[in-house]
Amino acid sequence: MKIPQYFLKIVLITIAFLLIFSDNRAQNNFNGIYKVSNSGKAFTLKSDTIVLHVDSIALLSINEFMTVKKKHDRKMNSYELLITLTESGTKIFAEVSEANIGKQLAVIIDNKLLTAPFVNTIISEGKISVTGLEKETVNEIVKYFKN
């Protein structure tokens, strides 16, 4: 039995489409920085009962995180997450932060909402600082990037 040419073309186009778009979004795996919205996928902060909804497409993928480190302020007994972005991530996040001053962004890693800070200023130097985090949250994020 001979397979029609048009059928083979459809199969090849379908395979190509799946290969091109089979990234984290297609697998419903949230990894990155997302805009908090009124609709979208619901996440709950580990340390809170507040539910946040986020857009389904990351504003910035974790692939743009070059380094992720923690900082401990012993005086204040608080923890800070320090993220250095790649060159392309720096450009993207400068635009993202400018468009979202005063708004909340969600940091989601491996489908877990880890923190949802407010953007206070344009971040154009490629260094993100997230303050006021619990020790275990910071350690979980840093550990994820060491693996």
The one-letter code for the residue type at 125 is: E
Share the mean pLDDT of the chain: 83
**Type and span of the H or E element at 105:** strand 105-109
Contact 83, 128 (CB under 8 A): yes
CA 20 vs CA 16, 65, 94: distances in Å = 6, 22, 27
Q: pLDDT per residue over 49-98, tens digit each?
A: 788 999 999 999 999 999 999 999 888 888 999 999 999 999 999 999 99
What is the pTM (predicted TM-score) of this model? 0.73
Span 117-145, average pLDDT: 89
Which sequence spans correspond to the domains of the chain?
A: 29-146
Question: Which pLDDT belongs to residue 125?
Answer: 95
pLDDT at position 127 is 95
Closest by alpha carbon to 100, among 60, 140, 40? 60
Does 16 or 59 have the greater pLDDT score?
A: 59
Q: Is the pLDDT of residue 9 over 80?
A: no
Q: Please give the CATH architecture assigned to the domain spanning 29-146.
A: 2-Layer Sandwich (3.30)
CA distance 147 to 141: 11
